[in-house]
Structure 1
Amino acid sequence: MTTVQSAPAPPTAIRPRVVARSGLYAVLAANAAVVTFFFTQAGFASNTLIVLGRLAGLYGALLMAFQLILVARLPWLDRRIGMDRLTSWHRWTGFGILWTLLTHAVFITFGYAQSSSLDPVNQIIDLAETVEGVLRAVVALGIILVVGAVSARYARRRLAYETWHFVHLYTYVAVVLAFTHQVATGTTFTSSSAATTYWYAVWGVALGSVAVGRLLLPLWRNWRHQLRVTAVVPEADNVVSVYMSGKDLDRMPARAGQFFLWRFLTPDRWWQANPFSLSAAPDGRTLRLTAKAAGDGSAALRHVKVGTRVFAEGPYGAFTAMHRTRPESVLIAGGVGVTPIRALLEEVHGHTVVIYRVATDRDAVLYDELRDLALAKGAELHLVTGPPVPDRLAPAELARLVPDIADRDVFLCGPPPMMTAVLGSLRELNVPKPQIHFERFSLAG
Structure 2
Amino acid sequence: MILARAAVAVFLVVNLVAVHVLFLFGRPPAYNLIGAAGRLLGLYLAFALAVQVLLISRLPLLDRSFGMDRLTRWHRRTGLTVFWLALLHPAWVIVGFARAGRDPVPATALTLAKQWPALLGMIAVALIVLVVALSIRAARRRLSYEAWHAVHLLLYAVLVLGLIHQYVEGTAFTTNLATKVYWWGLWAFVLGALLANRVIVPLVRNSRHRLRVAAVVPESDDVVSVHVTGRDLERLGARAGQFFLWRFPGHNRWWQVNPFSLSAAPNGRSLRLTAKAVGGTTAGLRDLPVGSRVFAEGPYGAFTLDRRARTATLLIAGGIGVTPIRSLLEDPRIGDDVIVLYRVRGGSDAVLLGELRNLAAARGARLHLLTGRTGPGNQPFHPDRLRAMVPDITDRDVYVCGPAALTEAVLAGLRRLKVPSRQVHAELFRLAG
- Kindly state the Cα deviation for residue 118 of structure 1 after the two structures are TM-superposed: 2.0
1:66 is matched with which residue? 51
Q: Determine which of 339, 343, 346 is the counterpart of 1:353.
A: 339
Q: Determine which of 201, 204, 226 is the counterpart of 2:210.
A: 226
- Kindly state the Cα deviation for residue 269 of structure 1 after the two structures are TM-superposed: 6.3
Task: Measure the CA separation in 1 of the matches of 2:400 and 2:305.
Answer: 12
Task: Measure the CA separation in 1 of the matches of 2:138 and 2:236.
Answer: 40
Q: Does 1:85 align with 2:73?
A: no
Task: Measure the CA separation in 2 of the matches of 1:177 and 1:271.
Answer: 21
2:45–2:82 contact (8 Å) kept in structure 1 = yes
Task: Measure the CA separation in 2 of the matches of 1:293 and 1:164.
Answer: 16
- Kindly state the Cα deviation for residue 205 of structure 1 after the two structures are TM-superposed: 1.5
1:214 aligns to what SS in structure 2? helix
Q: Determine which of 159, 183, 187 is the counterpart of 2:167.
A: 183
2:380 is matched with which residue? 392
Q: Does 1:322 align with 2:306?
A: yes
1:410 is matched with which residue? 398
Task: Measure the CA separation in 1 of the matches of 2:105 and 2:277.
Answer: 55
Structure 1's 365 and 197: CA in aligned 2 closer, same or farther, altered over 3 A?
A: same
2:26–2:173 contact (8 Å) kept in structure 1 = no
1:8 is matched with which residue? none
- Kindly state the Cα deviation for residue 271 of structure 1 after the two structures are TM-superposed: 5.5
- Kindly state the Cα deviation for residue 22 of structure 1 after the two structures are TM-superposed: 4.5
2:389 is matched with which residue? 401
2:403–2:428 contact (8 Å) kept in structure 1 = no
The one-letter code sitting in structure 1 at the alignment partner of 2:135 is S
Could you say what the CA RMSD is over the residues aligned between the two structures, in angstroms?
Answer: 2.4
The one-letter code sitting in structure 1 at the alignment partner of 2:311 is P
Task: Measure the CA separation in 1 of the matches of 2:130 and 2:218.
Answer: 44
Task: Measure the CA separation in 2 of the matches of 1:444 and 1:339.
Answer: 17
Task: Measure the CA separation in 1 of the matches of 2:371 and 2:97.
Answer: 68
1:90–1:444 contact (8 Å) kept in structure 2 = no
- Kindly state the Cα deviation for residue 248 of structure 1 after the two structures are TM-superposed: 0.9
Task: Measure the CA separation in 2 of the matches of 1:240 and 1:128.
Answer: 52
Task: Measure the CA separation in 1 of the matches of 2:405 and 2:120.
Answer: 45
Structure 1's 91 and 416: CA in aligned 2 closer, same or farther, altered over 3 A?
A: closer
Task: Measure the CA separation in 2 of the matches of 1:269 and 1:35.
Answer: 41
Structure 1's 398 and 37: CA in aligned 2 closer, same or farther, altered over 3 A?
A: same
1:84–1:441 contact (8 Å) kept in structure 2 = yes
- Tell me the TM-score normalised to structure 2 length: 0.90
Task: Measure the CA separation in 2 of the matches of 1:39 and 1:326.
Answer: 48
* Alpha-carbon displacement from aligned partner over 1:151-177 (angstroms, at most 9, x marks no partner): 333433344444443333222222222
The one-letter code sitting in structure 2 at the alignment partner of 1:24 is V
- Kindly state the Cα deviation for residue 91 of structure 1 after the two structures are TM-superposed: 2.1
- Kindly state the Cα deviation for residue 227 of structure 1 after the two structures are TM-superposed: 0.9
1:288 is matched with which residue? 272
2:110 is matched with which residue? 125
Q: Determine which of 416, 428, 431 is the counterpart of 2:416.
A: 428
* Alpha-carbon displacement from aligned partner over 1:39-75 (angstroms, at most 9, x marks no partner): 2223543521222211111111111111111112223
1:241 is matched with which residue? 225
The one-letter code sitting in structure 1 at the alignment partner of 2:421 is K
2:137 is matched with which residue? 153
- Kindly state the Cα deviation for residue 268 of structure 1 after the two structures are TM-superposed: 5.3
Task: Measure the CA separation in 2 of the matches of 1:443 and 1:42.
Answer: 37
- Tell me the TM-score normalised to structure 1 length: 0.88
Identity between Structure 1 and Structure 2 (%): 51
1:386–1:392 contact (8 Å) kept in structure 2 = no
1:373 is matched with which residue? 359
Structure 1: runs of 5 or more not aligned: 1-15
2:129 aligns to what SS in structure 1? helix
Instruction: Tell which has more relative contact order, 1 or 2 (C-alpha 8 A, sep 6+).
Output: 1
1:53–1:107 contact (8 Å) kept in structure 2 = yes
Q: 1:137-216 maps to which residues of 2 (within 5 A)? A: 137-216=121-200
- Kindly state the Cα deviation for residue 21 of structure 1 after the two structures are TM-superposed: 4.2
- Identify the range of structure 1 (320-329 vs 101-110) with the bigger mean alpha-carbon deviation: 101-110
Structure 1's 190 and 399: CA in aligned 2 closer, same or farther, altered over 3 A?
A: same
* Alpha-carbon displacement from aligned partner over 1:109-136 (angstroms, at most 9, x marks no partner): 2222223242222223334446x62232
Structure 2: runs of 5 or more not aligned: none
Task: Measure the CA separation in 1 of the matches of 2:285 and 2:212.
Answer: 13
1:438 is matched with which residue? 426
- Kindly state the Cα deviation for residue 92 of structure 1 after the two structures are TM-superposed: 1.8
Task: Measure the CA separation in 1 of the matches of 2:402 and 2:268.
Answer: 27
Q: Determine which of 103, 119, 122 is the counterpart of 1:135.
A: 119
Structure 1's 146 and 337: CA in aligned 2 closer, same or farther, altered over 3 A?
A: closer
1:29 is matched with which residue? 13
- Identify the range of structure 1 (121-130 vs 237-246) with the bigger mean alpha-carbon deviation: 121-130
- Kindly state the Cα deviation for residue 184 of structure 1 after the two structures are TM-superposed: 1.7
* Alpha-carbon displacement from aligned partner over 1:69-125 (angstroms, at most 9, x marks no partner): 111222332222223332332222122123223322222222222232422222233
Structure 1's 386 and 151: CA in aligned 2 closer, same or farther, altered over 3 A?
A: closer
* Alpha-carbon displacement from aligned partner over 1:392-417 (angstroms, at most 9, x marks no partner): 34333322221100111101122333
* Alpha-carbon displacement from aligned partner over 1:263-309 (angstroms, at most 9, x marks no partner): 23344566532322111111111111222333443333333232121
Task: Measure the CA separation in 2 of the matches of 1:154 and 1:294.
Answer: 18
